[in-house]
Amino acid sequence: MLQQTQVDRVIPYYERWVKQFPTPQALSKAPLSQVLKAWQGLGYNRRGKYLWEAAKIISERGWGGKLPGVGPYTAAAVDAFAHNKPAVFIETNIRTVFLHHLYSNVLQNTRIDDKELLVLVEEALKNSKMEPREFYAALMDYGSHLKRQGVKLNAKSKHYKKQSKFEGSTRQRRAAKLRALLARGASQKEIEKALKPK
């Protein structure tokens, strides 16, 4: 829910979600249409579907193995926050901290690769002597603070892509189509088809 969505916006959705689906088993038993209705308003509906699919896998096989929608960043973030392991990852707020303190004087058209930053994050984590979850929480909070202060350095990252406007986009049309399908009680097959990118 937090991917590309601010915490303040996510909190009410998260609280409703956990009441409705308190366990992976509860989520896995829900029809996809119910899951997507609960997800409405968060955007990126495929993430809701991935979460539902992951809950089915976890319910059947347990927590080990690959889960849909979980890439290296998410896996490392879960390791750090849920298991307090010294996993190394980067996200937008962490990237902002390192770019601000180490690269703000670099030429305007220079773009920094996350691979370079990951080495620095790993070194900083080791040198901090902090628990991983505390280290990352502090970095994310500080990065968020920097952004609120007007520090905008995303364009210095090689991985930065300015997101296209939602208004008039295929994402907006796909979301409207999905809302209409959910409202009329469409079949799971129709819903899954609507979630596929064109």
**Under 8 Å between Cβ of 156 and 103:** yes
Q: Is the pLDDT of residue 154 over 80?
A: no
The one-letter amino acid code at 140 reads: M
What DSSP string describes 62-73? Answer: -S-S--TT--HH
What class, spelled out in words, does domain 7-69+165-195 have in CATH? Answer: mainly alpha
Listed ranges 65-79, 94-108, 157-171; the one with the highest mean pLDDT: 65-79
Using the predicted structure, report yes or no on whether residue 87 has a pLDDT greater than 60.
yes
Residue 18 confidence (pLDDT) above 90: yes
For residues 174 and 198, what is the distance between their CA atoms, to the nearest angstrom? 9
Its pTM surpasses 0.85: no
Task: Look up tokens 């907006």; give the residue.
Answer: 172
Average pLDDT over residues 113-141: 96
Q: What local confidence, expressed as pLDDT, does residue 88 receive?
A: 97
pLDDT for 107 beyond 60: no
pLDDT over 80 at 160, yes or no: no
Query: What is the per-residue pLDDT across 37-58, written as a single tens digit (0 to 9) for each?
Result: 999 988 888 899 999 999 999 9
**Segments making up each domain of the chain, as ranges:** 7-69+165-195, 72-156
